[in-house]
Chains A and B, each alone.
Chain A
Amino acid sequence: MSATIVSLPDQSTARIPKTNFLTKENGLLSWLLTGDHKRIAILYLISITFFFFVGGALAGLIRLELLTPQSDLMATDTYNKVFTMHGVVMIFLFLVPSVPATLGNFFIPMMIGAKDLALPKINLLSWYLYVAGGILVIYTMAAGGVDTGWTFTTPLSTHYINTNVMSTGMAVFIAGFSSIFTGLNFIVTLHKMRCPGMTWFRLPLFCWAHYAASILMVLGTPVLAIAIVLVALERTVGIGVFDPTKGGDPILFQHLFWFYSHPAVYIMILPGMGVISETISTFSRKRVFGYTAVAFSSVAIAVFGFFVWAHHMFIMGISNYAVLVFSLLTMLVAVPSAIKIFNWTFTLYKGSITFETPMLYSFGFMGLFTIGGLTGVFLGASGTDIHLTETYFIVAHFHFVMVGGMLMAFLAGIHFWWPKMTGRMYPEKISQMAAVVTFIGFNFTFFPQFILGMLGMPRRYAAYPPEFQVLNVFSTAGATILGVGYLLPVLYLTWSLKYGEIAGNNPWQATGLEWQTQSPPLTENFTRIPIMDHEAYDYEWLEAQQAKEVASVR
């Protein structure tokens, strides 16, 4: 564990560069009306961390309630409101925007050698819509919560619930547009703003992953918007689009809802995969194995991701033949993820690997995402789905993919680019320990839930039969460890803002264009628009570059 590739400038003389995007202009208005993609990324980072801990607290409440078979910590409808808000906050206010809106916003323009995203004002509007959605969610919680589950299943959400479904629907509607504008910005930027020489196959895989996720954001989110508008209309005007007593079909809502909500899970995971491609390549000093295969598998996930949604509805009475079609397509969409995992594994082959925190999180990602992905195939095969759906097996599956995959990748990305964003290094030892604690806590929390799911414990139960208690106690114990694991980064990263070592331009000696400029970067990113004359992850070019620099200094 001792060797490291970190190379920091001499701390006695190193200083944070005088002019950078943080110091260029100050005052609240310079932040609230900024067009700079880096400042918007910082604004997003702060608001996303806040909502992550709101969702995390709700998760803690759920785990505490499930310590005992009876529902004794809170009344059942309070529990229903807690798990609904946990779902809404975590999915729409944390998982969908987290990597794209923070790391994507900050680094895509820098990685392609542009001064900013194509539409800075739309980018700022996206953050304001996100905050508006967040405030509406906070208002909903203050005004008594909503207990429809994050899936708004009709006719429950339209006729049998009198908590504030409308304000939650509006919050999700507005937050959806924030995601659309982020995706739209990325697609336009990646097509139109690449610096000279930056061909598509010289793009870092981080950009490919965000390109695929943006296609899903732009084309999937509007269908959720119309589904929510129809639910809102049905609650206010009482019309029977989804109401069986008036001739409507509640399964149509399921189709429209899951048409977005399955691509949404790819919106959440693809940016995380982009981060992992960067970290694995940097910390094994090697070009990602099979670059084109990894790039095209991102796009393949995006395209196939649109046509698999009904595997959430296998037992809801859709026709048996539709189940065949969707089950087959679900199997096809699982293959690109397998390709990516193997390509990352073989990137390590003949590399020169070091184990800084981002790499630890990436190893955690690879292990947990593999389990998460494979259990997804359990649910894609229609036979076993009959037994496993709507049980804790599903809860374990998507937590393995979302928390084990996406959150690990987000933390890997935050640690990897922290020096570039703030100019300061995070403390290595404590963050490595935090990564290990998170990994252990995670497995302790969610692995027992696979067994609970196989035993048939249903989702969203405030009270459960006594024989499931033992596994739930393990899960809650794990959740406390996980909670600690997630609190640590907030502490030492804020600490590092003041006391962290000065990072310099390229502490990891990485090959991305963002590492070739100062940190924290200038507002216009580069003093002169770079010319990309080498392949992505070209470590020989980097060595030549550094050799030339040393020669020029002497």
Chain B
Amino acid sequence: MSDSPIAGPAHGHGALAEAGDPHHGEHPSYQRHHFETVDQQADATNFAMWLFLLTEVMFFGGLFTAYLIYRNWYYPAFVAASHQLDVRWGSLNTLVLILSSFTMAMGVWCSETRRRNGLMLCLTLTFILGMAFLGIKTIEYHEKWEKHHIPGLHYSLQSFLDPASDEAAAKYGDSPLPLDMARHTELYFFLYFAMTGMHALHMIIGIAILGFMIVRARAGAYTNGHVTFVENFGLYWHFVDIVWIYLFALLYLISRHQ
């Protein structure tokens, strides 16, 4: 029974691999069997990573829609609640994350130009900056914990009903909010914890993968021409940085003027 492959009049142009010989020499070891060329594999995985980032954009999109609507509905509550956040920590965190984006980009460059030590340095720097970011986040979360600003766990409105008693609010000279508006600060803090929590979760996943990459990089994995893993992780890391850029602008910087 002839399994008749469609033999065009003359088959084979350029890199068409001879049939039935899986281990033809010129294919590098990391090329998967179902790809014709390494380029095709690199393009495909890069494109797949971008599509995955689109799902992340839509995932955070739902949160941003909710934030946008409630900020318009309860603007005074959002202003008062955002004064509870410390702009200094926020700006420092943005600085840390932009630096980590830079070191990650340099890491990708080192991997492309086959610099093993450079790659090791950049990945470790990114790892440290990522941990620094999470450290600052825990400090901020801890401060919310002390002030009972964790939504749902006996959330206290005290610092909004009577701002004088709260030094963060007093600094901005906030006028006391009536009860019904002060209630909605709990909504702000829920959105704050939901968005920064989801972002922190993505950071933790990123840092875990970074650790794995550092181990593999020490064994010289990404400096032999196969850079797709580092590149794709770089895309993911830069995406997480972009989410933070918007979070910082939307959550921390609502009308900081007196």
Binding site for B on A (CB under 8 A): 9, 14-15, 17, 114-120, 122, 180, 184-185, 187-189, 191-193, 196, 218-223, 225-227, 230, 233, 237-241, 246-249, 252, 255-256, 259, 504-505, 513, 516-518, 522, 524, 526-531, 533, 545, 549, 553
Tell whether A180 pairs with B74 under 8 Å between CB atoms, given A9-B1, A188-B48: no
B63 to chain A, nearest CB (A): 6
Is B229 an interface residue when CB atoms closer than 8 A count as contact? Answer: no
Q: List 24 A-B contacts (CB under 8 A).
A: A118-B48, A187-B47, A188-B48, A218-B55, A222-B55, A227-B62, A230-B62, A237-B190, A240-B190, A241-B66, A241-B191, A246-B184, A247-B74, A247-B183, A249-B73, A255-B65, A256-B65, A256-B66, A504-B1, A527-B3, A527-B20, A528-B5, A529-B16, A531-B11
Cα A434 to Cα B17 in complex, Å, equals: 46
Contacts of A230 in B (CB 8 A): 62, 66, 194
Contacts of A526 in B (CB 8 A): 5
Q: Is the CB of B55 within 8 A of A180?
A: yes
Most chain-A CB neighbours within 10 Å: which of B36, B44, B51, B151?
A: B51
A503 to chain B, nearest CB (A): 12
Q: Is the CB of B2 within 8 A of A188?
A: no
* Residues from 35 to 71 in B contacting A, C-beta threshold 8 Å: 35-36, 40, 43-45, 47-48, 51-52, 54-56, 58-63, 65-66, 69-70
Contacts of A196 in B (CB 8 A): 13, 16
Contacts of B52 in A (CB 8 A): 184
Cα A68 to Cα B21 in complex, Å, equals: 68
Tell whether A527 pairs with B61 under 8 Å between CB atoms, given A219-B55, A516-B5: no
Q: Is the CB of A252 within 8 A of B34?
A: no
In the complex, given contacts A116-B33, A120-B32, what are 18 additional A-B residue pairs having Cβ atoms less than 8 angstroms apart? A184-B51, A188-B44, A191-B47, A223-B61, A225-B59, A226-B63, A230-B66, A246-B184, A248-B70, A249-B70, A252-B65, A255-B65, A256-B66, A517-B3, A517-B5, A524-B34, A529-B17, A529-B36
Q: Mark contacts of B166-198 with chain A using CB atoms, 8 A cut-off: 1 yes-contact digit, 0 otherwise.
A: 000000000000000001101100110010000
Most chain-A CB neighbours within 10 Å: which of B35, B55, B187?
A: B55
Contacts of A192 in B (CB 8 A): 40, 43-44, 47
Cα A533 to Cα B9 in complex, Å, equals: 10
Of A238, A522, A528, the contact of B11 (CB 8 Å cutoff):
A528
Contacts of A184 in B (CB 8 A): 48, 51-52, 55
Of B6, B40, B74, the contact of A530 (CB 8 Å cutoff):
B6
B131 to chain A, nearest CB (A): 25
Tell whether A239 pairs with B34 under 8 Å between CB atoms, given A225-B59, A549-B2: no
Closest 10 CB pairs of A and B: A226-B62, A237-B152, A116-B34, A115-B34, A222-B59, A239-B190, A222-B58, A192-B44, A518-B3, A528-B19
Q: Is the CB of A188 within 8 A of B34?
A: no
B29 to chain A, nearest CB (A): 17
Is B255 an interface residue when CB atoms closer than 8 A count as contact? Answer: no
Cα A220 to Cα B55 in complex, Å, equals: 8
Cα A144 to Cα B131 in complex, Å, equals: 43
Tell whether A219 pairs with B58 under 8 Å between CB atoms, given A237-B151, A246-B183: yes
Q: Is the CB of B8 within 8 A of A531?
A: yes
Q: Is the CB of A226 within 8 A of B59?
A: yes
Closest residue of A by beta carbon distance from B56:
A222
Contacts of B43 in A (CB 8 A): 192
Q: Is the CB of B34 within 8 A of A527?
A: no
Q: Is the CB of A239 within 8 A of B152?
A: yes
A511 to chain B, nearest CB (A): 11
Q: Is the CB of A518 within 8 A of B69?
A: no
Cα A225 to Cα B19 in complex, Å, equals: 44
Is B258 an interface residue when CB atoms closer than 8 A count as contact? Answer: no
Contacts of A9 in B (CB 8 A): 1
Q: Is the CB of A17 within 8 A of B40?
A: no
Q: Is the CB of A222 within 8 A of B6?
A: no
Of A115, A256, A517, A527, the contact of B33 (CB 8 Å cutoff):
A115
Contacts of B11 in A (CB 8 A): 528, 531
Q: Is the CB of A187 within 8 A of B51?
A: yes
Cα A114 to Cα B152 in complex, Å, equals: 53
Cα A156 to Cα B231 in complex, Å, equals: 45
Cα A219 to Cα B73 in complex, Å, equals: 28
Most chain-B CB neighbours within 10 Å: which of A15, A227, A524?
A: A524
Cα A531 to Cα B9 in complex, Å, equals: 10
Closest residue of B by beta carbon distance from A526:
B5
Q: Is the CB of A14 within 8 A of B62?
A: no
Contacts of A227 in B (CB 8 A): 62
Q: Is the CB of B33 within 8 A of A218?
A: no
A488 to chain B, nearest CB (A): 31
Closest residue of B by beta carbon distance from A121:
B32
B247 to chain A, nearest CB (A): 15
Tell whether A248 pairs with B6 under 8 Å between CB atoms, given A188-B44, A241-B66: no
Cα A533 to Cα B10 in complex, Å, equals: 12
Contacts of B8 in A (CB 8 A): 530-531, 533
Cα A526 to Cα B257 in complex, Å, equals: 68
Is B205 an interface residue when CB atoms closer than 8 A count as contact? Answer: no
Cα A120 to Cα B48 in complex, Å, equals: 12
Q: Is the CB of B4 within 8 A of A516?
A: yes
Closest residue of B by beta carbon distance from A233:
B194
Of B69, B74, B152, the contact of A238 (CB 8 Å cutoff):
B152
Tell whether A524 pairs with B48 under 8 Å between CB atoms, given A219-B58, A504-B1, A516-B4: no
Contacts of B7 in A (CB 8 A): 528
